[in-house]
Structure 1
């Protein structure tokens, strides 16, 4: 029976080996990824899987953004491209101008874009658009055809797209109906935002927008328009924003916006318009009339626009404004009168504008003074939080010029000719968080100038001829985080005194003192700057000394940035080679001190000899740290000397002690001991010396010590290892030169222990592995034996049927066979409901009601 069992086992083993190779091949082929099978396919068109179930056509890249499937292509060609119906956005940019795009009948449906929602074809060439090109696209809501050299567009092109909201056609030489014609431009009643800027529109007829009744935003800027007929916008009852900027419009009819009751924003900047008097726009909130030819603002210019909140009259070269010009604008929040030629501003100018938040009169070079008693206010105080009077030629700021601006947060007085500022100017503005006094003529600042500005966070003083600045200026600004004093004439950082608080500029994070005449900056001047993160001291004649080295060490330890960008820009005119180096404190050190002092060191604390001996006296028991004592005082000589010289010096020191003891009538026994010690030491010249130490000489000024105290001080230094003369002494201090060897000896047994531990772990792992292999083989053997016995027990089964036995066994082990998948069979599809698409989540969302982003 044993022989037959072995023969049966061997026969089964041979059969298993013969069938193992094809079974393994079958198993491997059944686990090939689906993507690999598709990658092997090469047909007329190369297919790239998109989202696992749709192919992306050639010349396109398909991506997914916020759940929407976008196809970005560089051309659109019928017959060679086929899109999946899950594509929601088509983007074609910078297509080859030699292959112009033709939008023929039903082209988007023919290429498979049935559910397309947005079409963007920009910076390309479109030489033809069929009236039925966009036919049948029921989900289309945004079309962007910017800069495609498009010349003709049929009026009914978008008539069937009932969900179309955004249409952008700017920068195309389009043809528009001529003046006086009954024709219309487009029939698209659902479009809410239309942009036809820079489209060579010479004139606008009364009927051009009559079939665009749903418009809420219309941009016709940059078309060189000269005249607009009065009834042009009467059909646009929902119009909220109109942009007429960058045209050649000289005047607007009084009743041109009489029917546009929803119009809230009107942009007419950069037009030769000299007045807006007579316009009736009852609900207008924003009027942008900058860079026009309005030279004078009368008291009734804005009578038909009394609810204006934002008014921009900048860049008009205005010379006069009536003191009651804005009195009827009671809702005014923003007023910009910058870049004009105003020489006088009345104190009554904004008296009734109590809701004003931002007031700008910058860049009026003829304006010398602000109102002496400030701007009058009908409510006593304004709500203005930003006042900009920069680059106005102001020579003085009076004490009461800002008395009605108590809510002021930001004030900009830079670029003027202010020489002095009283400490009362900013005291009426306790909420100031930013003050800009840059580029004036200030030579100094009153120490109490910011006494009431406890919330000040940023201060700009650059470009002033400041020579001396006291640290007391910043005592009342504990929240200051930004301080710029660059490009001045400072010779020192600031003057400090002993009574200044420890919290001075404690929150300062940025400090710029570049391009000054500072020779030295002490570390103590920056000790209170605990939050400093950036310091610019470039372009200063700094001197290399101990204070400079201490400063570099302090800045490096605090990880303060040298503000490299500003420093490099400032050095462009000096040495172009410095741009290539990374600006750092090491670089500044090399530039200031040269290569000799690259690593600054901190100074050692000054310790007198008397303090050293006091420490020795206090540690009479011999447990003081001799190394620290030597480091605190004068360092011992580190140069190597021979043994004889060292012995002689020590003997001389001991003899000197003996002489001192004789003069003070001390114990003769101690003198004899010292003499013997010196004689024995001389005899031991040939022995090895473990320690070479030069003792510090006592100061010439002898310290009076009582006899009883001196007897307690005994310092015995063991110099020779085997000197029997010193064995009888009771040393209080042992200075051992072999400390490092003893410490090293503690780790002599560490490596053998670690090696033994790792060897044991490795042996355990090997034993565990062998046990696992034996157990697995035993289990397999039992499983195979059980399967064989079960197979042989079936009627009619013999040894010849070993192949069937193996087949059944392999199925038991590997599980059910994997069915073959046809390489051409489509994968299960996932439908996308395009009707659930939201306007906000689309990549073509126009957040600022300007369709240029489409």
Structure 2
């Protein structure tokens, strides 16, 4: 009796893993109690019959003599009534008949990425009541040029939550294209050739939360384009020739990506229609000038990326004065910034600032005085020759500091006097000949120190080594260029 339980357990484990009988050109494996997966190099409904417990079908890289076509009731006739996921990718699928998925009541996801589909009948998935995700990226759909169906509906589905139409050569979206997908929460139209978003492009998509329009040719967005959407959370406009968002309103939007666009000026009204933003990516534009009131309305802003623009310094001291929830600011790659001074406001939540590659030649002694919770500071790849003794005095939580690739010759002995939580420090690529141990008397948990590619000729003498030993430091990992020290 005592042996029955382990024997039964082994039997069950054997039943839910390993290979099982499978039709030709396929391999079937049972992965868990939820069912088995069939991986096939081709599909032939005339000869293939699958075990009833197959829940996932995967066909990859099929390039046979004839293009692949999905015929009426094809999957149910092949014994795949319980399938939940069908994935046919990087193949020559050209045609899907309207009843191809009939009888698949458990179907939740289909992925037909990178095939040869030109058009799909609107009712193809109408009877698949559990279908939540359809991926059609990389197909030459061109649906708006050939769509002749009633009301121009692309698909009719009450259950669909995610639709991926990225890289499908779309040049325009007809009115009401998505209006029979009222439950849609994610729509990906990135990588197409769209030039504008009209007032009726997104009609009836009241449940939409995530919209990806990156890398199109969009230069115009109708002010009413988002009126039907109740609570959109994320919008990506990356890589479009957009010059302004003034006049557009998207209440509730939390994340906006407008990087790699054609923005040159941020006016006071640029973001007045985005009052709930928490994340704003403005990187890799051509922004030169920022109105002092550009961010005044973004009271919930936490993450701001202004990197790799053409912003000139110093910044207006009131620029972020109302953004009290800021946690991360990146100004990296703004080579004309040159000077960074104290900013007005309370930055009690700010923990990361990136000022790398900003052409910095000077920082005021009080540059970080009201950023006292900063934990990570990056000022690498600048032209700094000296640092004020009290520059980091307010940063009692500083743990990572990158000062690499500047022109520093000397650091004041009290520079890190209050930075007791400093763990990682990079001084690589500077002009130091000696870095005194007394610098690190107040950094007891420093673990990583990079002094590579400097001009170090001596590290620490015996007296300095004793200072470090007496302070009972944890081990410090010091990086030095090979054969740098005589």
What interval of TM-score do these two structures reach, taking the shorter chain for normalisation? over 0.9
Q: 1:508 aligns with which of 441, 458, 475?
A: 475
Using the alignment, how far apart are the partners of 2:17 and 2:373 within structure 1? Answer: 57
Alignment-derived partner of residue 241 in structure 1: 210
Using the alignment, how far apart are the partners of 2:442 and 2:457 within structure 1? Answer: 23
Alignment-derived partner of residue 320 in structure 1: 289
Alignment-derived partner of residue 8 in structure 2: none
Deviates more, 1:61-70 or 1:244-253: 61-70
CA contact (8 A) 1:287 1:311 kept: yes
Alignment-derived partner of residue 405 in structure 2: 439
| Greater Rg over alpha carbons, structure | 1
Using the alignment, how far apart are the partners of 1:222 and 1:489 within structure 2? Answer: 48
Using the alignment, how far apart are the partners of 1:509 and 1:70 within structure 2? Answer: 50
CA contact (8 A) 1:415 1:438 kept: yes
Deviations 1:530-575 (A, max 9, x none): xxxxxxxxxxxxxxxxxxxxxxxxxxxxxxxxxxxxxxxxxxxxxx
The 5 Å alignment of 1:10-49 reads none
Alignment-derived partner of residue 164 in structure 1: 131
Residues 217 and 260 of structure 1, relative CA distance in 2, 3 Å threshold: same
Q: 2:245 aligns with which of 267, 276, 281?
A: 276
Name the SS for the 1:242 alignment partner: strand
Structure 1 residue 56, shift from structure 2 partner: 1.4
Structure 1 residue 422, shift from structure 2 partner: 2.1
Name the SS for the 1:283 alignment partner: coil
Name the SS for the 1:293 alignment partner: coil
Using the alignment, how far apart are the partners of 2:146 and 2:70 within structure 1? Answer: 29
Using the alignment, how far apart are the partners of 1:419 and 1:300 within structure 2? Answer: 39
- Matching of residue 260 in structure 1 with residue 229 in structure 2: yes
Alignment-derived partner of residue 344 in structure 2: 376
The 5 Å alignment of 1:208-607 reads 208-344=177-313, 345-371=315-341, 374-377=342-345, 379=346, 381-497=347-463, 500-503=467-470, 506-508=473-475, 510-515=477-482, 517-519=484-486
Structure 1 residue 99, shift from structure 2 partner: 4.5
Structure 1 residue 393, shift from structure 2 partner: 0.6
Name the SS for the 2:393 alignment partner: helix
Using the alignment, how far apart are the partners of 1:180 and 1:324 within structure 2? Answer: 46
Deviations 1:357-408 (A, max 9, x none): 001111011111112xx1101x4x4321001000001112221111111010
- Matching of residue 199 in structure 1 with residue 165 in structure 2: no
Structure 1 residue 515, shift from structure 2 partner: 4.5
Residues 54 and 410 of structure 1, relative CA distance in 2, 3 Å threshold: closer
Name the SS for the 2:75 alignment partner: helix
CA contact (8 A) 1:487 1:516 kept: no
Using the alignment, how far apart are the partners of 1:327 and 1:337 within structure 2? Answer: 16
Name the SS for the 2:28 alignment partner: strand
CA contact (8 A) 2:198 2:221 kept: no
CA contact (8 A) 2:416 2:440 kept: yes
Using the alignment, how far apart are the partners of 1:174 and 1:265 within structure 2? Answer: 25
Q: How high is the TM-score relative to the length of structure 1?
A: 0.53
The 5 Å alignment of 1:752-763 reads none
Name the SS for the 1:327 alignment partner: coil
Structure with bigger helix share is 1
Q: 2:47 aligns with which of 55, 80, 90?
A: 80
Using the alignment, how far apart are the partners of 1:90 and 1:391 within structure 2? Answer: 49
Using the alignment, how far apart are the partners of 2:30 and 2:485 within structure 1? Answer: 58
Name the SS for the 2:21 alignment partner: strand
Using the alignment, how far apart are the partners of 2:335 and 2:457 within structure 1? Answer: 32
Name the SS for the 2:196 alignment partner: coil
Deviations 1:283-320 (A, max 9, x none): 11111111111111111211111111111111111110
> Which consecutive unaligned segments of at least 5 residues does structure 2 have?
1-14
Residue-pair matches, total: 467
Residues 112 and 503 of structure 1, relative CA distance in 2, 3 Å threshold: farther
Using the alignment, how far apart are the partners of 2:233 and 2:328 within structure 1? Answer: 20
Alignment-derived partner of residue 60 in structure 1: 26
Name the SS for the 2:340 alignment partner: coil
Alignment-derived partner of residue 3 in structure 2: none
Using the alignment, how far apart are the partners of 2:310 and 2:116 within structure 1? Answer: 42
Residues 228 and 324 of structure 1, relative CA distance in 2, 3 Å threshold: closer
The 5 Å alignment of 1:630-709 reads none
Residues 403 and 110 of structure 1, relative CA distance in 2, 3 Å threshold: same
Deviates more, 1:96-105 or 1:465-474: 96-105
Q: 1:101 aligns with which of 60, 68, 72?
A: 68
Name the SS for the 2:439 alignment partner: helix
Using the alignment, how far apart are the partners of 1:285 and 1:489 within structure 2? Answer: 48
Q: How high is the TM-score relative to the length of structure 2?
A: 0.92
Q: CA RMSD in A?
A: 1.9
> Which consecutive unaligned segments of at least 5 residues does structure 1 have?
1-48, 520-854
Structure with bigger strand share is 2
Residues 354 and 53 of structure 1, relative CA distance in 2, 3 Å threshold: closer
Using the alignment, how far apart are the partners of 2:455 and 2:32 within structure 1? Answer: 56
Name the SS for the 1:128 alignment partner: strand
Residues 516 and 355 of structure 1, relative CA distance in 2, 3 Å threshold: farther
Structure 1 residue 517, shift from structure 2 partner: 2.8
Alignment-derived partner of residue 119 in structure 2: 152
Deviations 1:213-238 (A, max 9, x none): 11000000111101232112121010
Alignment-derived partner of residue 12 in structure 2: none
Name the SS for the 1:177 alignment partner: helix
Name the SS for the 1:56 alignment partner: coil
